[in-house]
Structure 1
Amino acid sequence: MLAGGQVGALAQFGNFVLGVQGDVSGGGLSGNYDFGFGPFPNISMEVNWLASLTARGGVAFDSVLLYGLAGLAVADTAIKYPGGSADPTYTGYTAGAGVALKLNANWSVFGEYAYYGLGEQEFDGDTYDLSLSSGKVGLNYKF
C-alpha cells in the first residue's frame, strides 16, 4: 500500500477537460522472488517512493468526469540480491484511466487505475525489471 498526494490543473472546454497532474506516493510496497533454494527468498525489492507527471484528458457529464492519463513515472527502490544490494531509481512511463465525481463546488472524489512500465536495471550481471499496476482512490479540493 502507498499513500501520497497530488497537485494539478484542469481546464474545461464544453464537455472536454484537459489538464496536467503530478503526484508522489511512499510506503512499503515490496516483493520477493524465490529461486527455490531453501526457505528464504533470494531477491527482494522495495519501492520507497513512486512519482509521476501526467497529462489528463476526458469528458465531463454533469458531475462525472471520465478521463485517461499518460506521462512520465519515476520510482526509487531498494534491491537485495545474492551477493549484494542496490538502490536504483527507475524511470519510465505510466498510463491509465479514472473517474471523478463532483460533490460540490470545491470537492470531488475519484478512483483511478494506472500501469507503470519502469524499465530495467542491471546489477552484478543480472537484469531487474520493474512494472506495476496501481488502483488509487482519493479526495480532491479545487481552489
Structure 2
Amino acid sequence: MFNRFALGAAFLVSAFFATGNPAQAETADWSGFYLGAHAGGIAAKEHWKWNQAGLYAASAGETHDPSVNGLIAGGQAGYLHQWGPWVAGVELSATTGHLKDKSNSTSTPGVVHKTTIDWFATAAAKFGYAREDYLFYGLAGYAGTDIHTSTGQPGVSEFFEEVWQSGFLLGAGVDYKLSKHIVLGAQYNYMHIPERDRTGTGQFEIGGSTGVAESISTGADYHIATLRMSWQF
C-alpha cells in the first residue's frame, strides 16, 4: 500500500517539474464551465452488522464485509475561476457501474447475502494550482450512493432493501489542457458512506411476510480511479 502511494506521489511530483520554468511559459486559462465524461475502476468494501438475531443471522453483532469491484463510467460538470496560478470551483458528477457481490453466510446454512451498487453521485469543492498546461487539484465534498442489500434463503424467503446513503468525498487529480477546449485528466477519489440501519421483515417467495423482524446496519468505503475528458467552454 505504501509503495503505491509513493509511486503515485512520485508521478505527480515528476509531472509538476516536467512542466518547466513557469516564468518562461504561459499558464493556461482554466476559468469557465466544463462538461465531460470519465471511466475507470472501483474497489468498494461494504460493512454489514446485524443489530439483532433473525432468520438470516445467528446472533446480534454478526458482520459481513463483501467486496464489490468493477468498471464504472459517468459524467462530470463544473465551473472554475482562476486567480494567477490558483484555481477554485465546484464539480458535480454521476457514475454508474451495476456492481454486484454474492456470497454465502458463514453462520447460517442456506443463507445468501447479496449487494448491488447501481450508481453514485458527488458534489465537491475543487481547489488547485495551475502550471503551464497542467492543473493539480484536490476535491472535498458530498458523496451519495444507491445500495441494494438482500439476505435470504433462495427460493424460500428474502429481506431486501434499497436505500440512498450519504457520506463524504476526498480526492485529488491532475488535468492537462490539450487544446483551448479539450482537457484530459486522471483522478482518484475516496468515498466514505457511514452506517445506516435497514429494518423490516423478510418476505416469502410465494408472498407474505415471514413475521420476523430484521435489522442490519450497512456502510461502505469506495476507492475510485478514473481517466477523464472534458470540454471547457
**TM-score after normalising by structure 2:** 0.57
Identity of aligned residues (%): 27
Which amino acid in the other structure matches residue 130 of structure 1? A
Structure having the larger proportion of residues in helix: 2
Q: How far apart, in 1, do the equivalents of 2:180 and 2:132 lie?
A: 12
Asked whether the 8 Å contact 2:86–2:130 carries over to 1, the reply is yes
Which amino acid in the other structure matches residue 163 of structure 2? P
Alignment-derived partner of residue 7 in structure 1: 77
Larger of the two Rg values belongs to structure: 2
Q: How far apart, in 2, do the equivalents of 1:102 and 1:68 lie?
A: 17
Greater relative contact order, per chain length (Cα 8 Å cut-off, separation 6+): 2
Cα distance per residue 1:82-134 (max 9 Å; x no partner): 34110011101001100001101100101000011111122222211122110
Segments of structure 1 that go 5 or more residues without pairing to the other structure are: none
The 5-angstrom pairing of residues 17-56 of structure 1 reads: 17-36=87-106, 42-56=112-126
The Cα shift of 1:38 comes to 8.6
Q: 1:136 to 1:88 in 2, by over 3 A?
A: same
Alignment-derived partner of residue 175 in structure 2: 100
Q: 1:40 to 1:69 in 2, by over 3 A?
A: farther
Asked whether the 8 Å contact 1:56–1:70 carries over to 2, the reply is yes
Alignment-derived partner of residue 36 in structure 2: none
Which amino acid in the other structure matches residue 134 of structure 1? I
1:139 aligns with 2:139: no
Asked whether the 8 Å contact 1:32–1:41 carries over to 2, the reply is no
Asked whether the 8 Å contact 2:111–2:151 carries over to 1, the reply is no
Cα distance per residue 1:55-82 (max 9 Å; x no partner): 0001011011110000001111211113
Q: 1:40 to 1:22 in 2, by over 3 A?
A: farther
Q: Pairwise CA RMSD of aligned residues?
A: 1.9
Cα distance per residue 1:12-51 (max 9 Å; x no partner): 1110010100001112122345433699873221111100
Alignment-derived partner of residue 192 in structure 2: 117
Alignment-derived partner of residue 129 in structure 1: 219
**TM-score after normalising by structure 1:** 0.91
Asked whether the 8 Å contact 1:88–1:121 carries over to 2, the reply is no
